Chains A and B, each alone.
Chain A
Amino acid sequence: MWCNTQVTFSPSPNNSRSESELEVNPLDPLNLVGSSKKFTNPATYAFTLAAYATFDGGESWLESPPLQLLGNPDPNKAWSGISDPAIAWDNAGNCYLVALPFPAASSPFSTVGIAVYKSSDGGRNWSIPNHIHTSTSDDKQWATGDRNRGSRFFGNVYVAWDDGTNLAFARTTDQGATWRGIGSQPAGSVLAADSFSPAIAVANDGAVYIFWIVGRSSTIKFVKSVDGGNSFSVPQVAVTGLTNLWSALPITGGFPKFAGTKFRVLTLPAACTGSGRNVVVAWADYREGVSRIYYRRSSDGGATWIGAPSGQPLLTRIGVPGSDQHDFHPQLASTPSGTIACSYYELGPKWAGAPQWINTFIATSQNNGASFLNVEKVSNVPWDPAVNAPLSHGDPNTTFIGEYFGLGVSNNGFVPFWTDTRTGIQEMFSGRKMSIGPWTGVQFEGRLPAGSTRRWFTFNWPACWHVVWEVVPITPRVGAPQIRWRVQVERASSGMITYWIKITNLTGRDVDIEARYAILAAD
């Protein structure tokens, strides 16, 4: 059982949100920062990024003030929004939101570079953007910090992106004061020439791995740095022979789509490291005639790769979906102690004849990715991807639910961060694993005058807790019922509930009562 916390409460259905990232402050596991697209006009694909923060491990969230956009003397390069959120932390509690600024739709350019926003207060507020690269071919950036205290490069933040088909790279080693590429090159060093959608993973020893899929092909490559991003290996192949969604699904409106759906879906790599020199890369694969998560791993820092060159299915014995379900949008993360998790969406009918809805799942491995034998459904209810979905670039036949979603991690556990339409709006939700109780106690005692009704309230109960209330008289009197009660609920905030216990004395005498709680499940 996972607690589902609604992160955003959009004032308008125009504020659809999707394509999210989430990272935990390495200095404070209760401080998480997330980001997603936030639309202003879903019909025209008008959006920018919004940022969110929690300081209690995800029970309650705030939305940061709007992220600033930059003007430009060239109106074709003035920012109208930012896209593709990526987040990383350094070793001093600074958080970086790496964004993709883009100009107005009337511009001949799709994007105008890579921008970095910095927050030094846990994600409450953000700096003006640092425009670290200015190519109009930039796209699909990713960012990761070296979170490992034992690493020589603890606190470095690495960014990789596509500049056209080039794999571009930047890093900061001085908490965001400067950004440069390899050696003393400016930000944007080219590490490879055939990149699409890079993903970065940093190992406990500080080794940096950047994976990418070669265009729309069947190959995933990587480069590796063992000197804090000062230099990288030549590109090497990690996976060959995968079945890319681009090659397997019908292409309409310029994007692959699952049968019976309108949202665009891609094969993009996700990567993480485990303990020691273990490295894992995962992707959505269509070789089985349905989309499945496949992965490949190395236990020697990428020197060799285990198993079939085309990878292996994530789910083999536990959690294997039915043939009418598609698994896609994998995201990988690992705890400092080495547990590896892969979160993903599962699309399909949830009962016979039902429409295709989505649940969020998480599969974990305790053996550095050799197997993923613990599979849990994170979302409490499935959501309909057709609800409140923006039109991709205004195309009425192509909708948008994001091309990835977030997965934060600390020693406190994994926190998926996904889009969900259960409220009728694309909102952001976060998940935390719950424990089963019960934990019981007496919350209050009181006295009810004869024939009266009184109401008590008790507040600051975490909204995810499953709480049952009962009231008993403690004044003995045989022969007839003495009291009855009713529970009323106030959602006082996104993360807290106030319970109101309304108690009626059914007798002609005063009755003392005791209100008892049982917490059936808690996070």
Chain B
Amino acid sequence: MVVGVQFTGSVPGSSSRRWFTFNWPASWDVVWTVVSTSPVVGAPQIEWDVAVERATATTITYWITIKNLTSSSTNIEARYAVMNI
């Protein structure tokens, strides 16, 4: 297994932003998670969805939509884990 951080960014308050990341080998089993990196205690700050595009026979583009559940801008970090290498 290989884990890493694919990107960092910021999501304005009460909004969603979508990132894409491409050229992932289609044979890889990839799990995506997103965490907030802006400490604010008391309530959840973000959630995310993953959408998948089979860009070619051998590559995948992942589209990560991150929703900020708060009214303040939140910094995020999108993490991947390739489970089968």
Contact = CB atoms under 8 A, between A and B. Distances in A.
Interface of A: 1, 4, 6, 9, 380-381, 422-424, 434, 436-438, 457, 463, 466-468, 486-494, 497-498, 500, 520-521
Contacts of A466: 3, 33, 79, 81
Most interface-central of B34, B39, B42, B43 (chain A CB within 10 A): B39
Interface string B1-37: 1111101101000000000000000000001011111
B3 A491 contact: no
9 contacts: A9-B39, A380-B8, A466-B33, A468-B31, A487-B33, A488-B69, A489-B36, A490-B43, A493-B39
Contacts of B10: 423-424
Contact of B37 (A438, A491, A492): A491
A491 B45 contact: yes
B5 A380 contact: yes
Contacts of A486: 47
Main SS at interface, chain A: strand
A437 B10 CA distance: 29
Nearest to A380: B5
A380 B79 CA distance: 10
Contacts of B43: 490
Contacts, number: 82
Contact of A488 (B5, B31, B47): B47
A489 B7 contact: no
A463 B34 CA distance: 11
B44 A467 contact: no
Contacts of B64: none
B76 to A, nearest CB: 9
A468 B50 CA distance: 14
A241 B47 CA distance: 56
Contacts of A424: 10
A327 B1 CA distance: 29
Nearest to B35: A489
A490 B47 contact: no
A436 B41 contact: no
B75 A423 contact: yes
A436 B33 contact: no
A468 B8 CA distance: 19
A468 B33 contact: yes
B7 A381 contact: yes
A93 B29 CA distance: 48
